[in-house]
């Protein structure tokens, strides 16, 4: 059975097979977790992202982790929060599904997700966490190699929100 857990940590320091980057559509770096991952991975990450030609909202792309402890970076573009009237829940769920499916192709056994869209994209964490947790739980039975999924939270408040969402699936 796959272990699901939430932690408060800097995602760029985690020694897992893959970390997920809450990227923008260009994949060329930005603020928040995206900027932190690009800085920690070093300039080769940007060079690996350039030929990918970007990524639409809800989809995912993969690159090596370069200078990160993680072997892979899975880039996904979450929806900008528009009050829930622009298909944001479905697009957010797609981010998690596509990242997990891509991780399965690369035989990832441990993956860490940030709170996709909960930073500058404005998605309320208390609405995003249940979508993240339920989508991951629903997708896991279709994966061959996943042993551990970590929801890496930026703050203690977010950690409590993710732990509450995880408690509903146990």
Catalytic residues: 34
Cα angle for residues 128, 134, 138 (degrees, 5° grid):
145
Tracing tokens 């300039």 back to the chain, one arrives at: 43
DSSP string, 38-68: HHHH-HHHHHHHGGGT---TT-EEEEE-TTS
Residues near 58 by beta carbon (within 8 Å), at least 6 away in sequence? 76, 77, 78, 79, 90, 91, 92, 94, 95, 98
Burial of 103 (0-12, 13-18, 19+ CB in 10 A): buried
Residue 146 is encoded by which pair of tokens? 């996943």
Q: Identify the bridge partners of residue 72 per DSSP, sorted by sequence position.
A: 18, 64
């Amino acid at each position: 059975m796959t272990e699901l857990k939430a932690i408060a940590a800097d995602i760029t320091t985690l020694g897992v097979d893959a970390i997920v980057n809450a990227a923008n559509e260009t994949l060329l770096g930005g603020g928040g977790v995206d900027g932190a991952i690009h800085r920690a991975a070093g300039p080769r990450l940007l060079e690996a992202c350039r030929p990918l030609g970007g990524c639409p909202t809800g989809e995912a792309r993969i690159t090596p982790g370069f200078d990160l402890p993680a072997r892979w970076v899975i880039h996904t573009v979450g929806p900008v929060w528009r009050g829930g009237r622009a298909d944001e829940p479905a697009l957010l769920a797609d981010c998690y599904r596509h990242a997990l499916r891509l991780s399965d192709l690369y035989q990832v056994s441990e993956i860490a997700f940030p709170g996709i869209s909960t930073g500058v994209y404005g998605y309320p964490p208390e609405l995003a966490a249940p979508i993240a947790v339920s989508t991951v739980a629903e997708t896991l039975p279709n994966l061959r190699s996943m042993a551990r999924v970590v929801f890496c939270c930026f703050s203690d408040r977010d950690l409590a929100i993710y732990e509450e969402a995880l408690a509903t699936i146990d």
